[in-house]
Amino acid sequence: MMTSKNTLLRSLASVLLLSLMLPVRAGDTKPQGQTPQKLSLKEFVVKASTNDVGFEAILLDRLSLQYRRDVLLPERDIILQIKQQMHFFEGGRRDGSSAISLSKLFPDTGTRLSATYDKGASLSGNDTASMQVLIAQPLAQNAFGKAIQLQDSLIGVENQISHYQIVEAYEDYLAALTTVWYNWYSAFENLKVARTAVQSGERLLKNILERQRQKIALPVDVNKMKLSLIAKKENRVVLQEIYDNLSNLVYSAMRYRPVGQAGNGGFVPDAPGDTAKLFDFEQEYEHFVSSSRTYAILNLLDKQAGLALDQVADDLLPSTELLLAYDVDAQEWGTGSRDNRFTAGIAVSWPIGRRVDKARYEIEQLQRKKTRLSNQSKLEDLRTNLGNLYLQIQREQELMEISQQKIQLAQAVLKDEKENYSFGKISLNDYISAVNNVDENRFSYTRHVVQLNKLMLEWMRLADRLVDEKEIIDVSTH
C-alpha cells in the first residue's frame, strides 16, 4: 500500500504541475544546517500528501467500492439447513425427526433450486421419509433475474459515480494544498519587498542625516524620512507575521518541524516559472464536454434515475413463478412402499389495488424528469462559470504584464528622481513618493502573478484536468 501510495503521489504531483503548465525549479529536499532550503510546489505536494492521513483515507474509499456488489446483491452461496426435533406421543412413546435441505439462488436468471430430505415418525408409529427437489423460475416480477440484473446495473452506476466523486476529492485535496503553497509564496515575495524597502529607507535616512549635517537638508526632511521608515518597518512586521503563519501551515501540512526561528532552517518557496500562454476557450470547452468527469457524472445520474424507474416498474408486475418439483414419499425409507411424482405448476401472488407501488412509480417518473432538468441547469451554470473564469484569467494576465511595465517605468523614474533630489530640483516628498511607487508596483506584480496561478488552478479543477483518474484506478487496485 505504501509503495503504491508514493507512486500515486509522484504521479499526481507531476500531473498537477504539467496541467498548470508552471515549470518549477527543484530545490534540495533536506535542510542542511541552519540555511533555509527552497521548496518547490511539486515537492510540497508530495511531502504533504505522504505524511497526511487524510490522503490515505481517500485512497481507502476507492478500495472499498469493490465490495459493494457482494454486500448489496443476493447471495450466490449454497445454503445448508439442518433441523432436529423430538416428538412426544400419548402413551409415553417418544420419537425424533430430522430434516436437511440445500438451496441455491442463481441471481443471473433468478432461478431457485432446493433439495429437502425429511425423516420422522407418524401417529401410527411407522417411520416416514420424504425427499423433494424443487426448481422455481420467476416469469413476471424479476422475470429470469431482471430485477437482480437491474440492481447489479444500478450498483455499477453508483460505483462509477462514487469513483468520480473520490477523484473529485483528490482534486479538491490537491487544489487546497496548492493554494496554501501559493499563499505562502505570495507572503514570501511581499516580505522580501518589505525588507528591501526598509533597507532602502535606512540608506536614504542616513543620506538625509548627512545632508542635514552639511546644512543641506532641513529637520522637517529628517522627520518625514523617519516617519516613512517607521511605516515601512510597521508594514514589514505585519508581513512577517503573515509569512510566519503561512509557514506554520506549510510545515503542518508536511508534518515538519523547523530548526530554530523563522529564517534559520526549514524551507522557503521556490519561485514558479513563466505562466502559460492564454488558451482558447471554445477549444478547451469542447474538450471538457467530450471527456470531462462532470459530463460523465451527469449522464450517470440520468442513467441511475432510469434504472430506479425500471426497478419500480418491475415491482408492479405480479409475483409469478413456474414450479417444477420431484417428490418421493415413503414409509420406513428404503424398505416400505414409495410414492414418486413429478409436479409442474404456476404460483401467482397479485395484490389488489397496488396503490403504494403505483404511487412510487409516479414519484420515480417525476424524479427522473427532475434529474434531467437539474442536469441541464448545472451544465448551463458550469459553462457560465467557466466563461467568467476565463475572462478573469485573461484580465489577470493583462494586469500582470501591465505591472511588469509599471515596475520598469517606476524604477526609471526613481533613478531620475534620485538625481533630481541630489541637485535640489525636487522635494523630499517627491522622492519618497517615487520610492513608494516602486514598492507598490512590486506588491501589485506579486499579487497578479499569484492570482493568475490560482485562477489557472481553479480552471483545471473545474474542467476536470487536474487529476487523471486512470492513475488512481491503477494504484488503488494494487
> Looking at the domain assignment, is residue 411 inside a domain?
yes
Per-residue pLDDT tens digits for 79-132: 888 887 766 656 655 666 788 888 888 888 888 898 988 887 655 556 678 888
- Tell me, yes or no, whether 277 and 293 share the same domain: yes
What local confidence, expressed as pLDDT, does residue 124 receive? 56
Residue 340: count other Cβ atoms within 10 Å of its Cβ. Answer: 10
**163-185: pLDDT as tens digits:** 888 888 888 888 888 999 999 99
Q: Are 266 and 247 members of one domain?
A: yes
- What confidence score (pLDDT) does residue 212 get? 86
Mark whether 437 and 472 lie in a shared domain: yes
Are residues 376 and 229 part of one domain? yes
Give me the pLDDT at residue 96, please: 65
Both 377 and 285 in one domain: the answer is yes
From the list 45, 171, 178, 179, the residue with the least C-alpha distance to 461 is: 171
**Residue 10 grid coordinates:** 509522484
Task: Examine the domain organization and report whether 97 and 156 are in the same domain.
Answer: no
Which single residue is written with the C-alpha cell 526632511? 221
* Residue 328 domain-assigned (yes or no): yes
What is the pLDDT at residue 33? Answer: 47
Whether 350 and 399 share a structural domain = no
449 located within any domain:
yes
Check whether residue 38 and residue 155 sit in a common domain. Answer: yes
Q: Structural domain tally of the chain? A: 2
User: Could you tell me if residue 312 is inside a domain?
Assistant: no
- Residue 163 lies inside a defined structural domain of this protein: yes
The list of the chain residues with pLDDT below 50 reads: 1-5, 7-33, 261-264, 335-336, 471-478
Identify whether 100 is part of a domain: yes
Give the burial class of 177: count Cβ atoms within 10 A of its Cβ; 0-12 exposed, 13-18 middle, 19 or more buried.
buried
Query: What residues make up the domain containing 55?
Result: 2-71+148-307+362-476
Are 347 and 387 part of one and the same domain?
no
Cα–Cα distance for residue pair 452/404, rounded to 1 Å: 14
pLDDT at 20: 46
What per-residue confidence (pLDDT) applies to 441? 95
CATH of the domain at 301: 1.20.1600.10
Indicate whether 171 and 292 sit together in one domain. Answer: yes
Kindly state whether residue 313 falls inside one of the protein's structural domains: no
Residue 330 included in any domain: yes
- Let me know whether 121 and 157 are in one domain: no
Domain shared by 205 and 248, yes or no: yes
- What is the predicted pLDDT for the residue at 164? 84
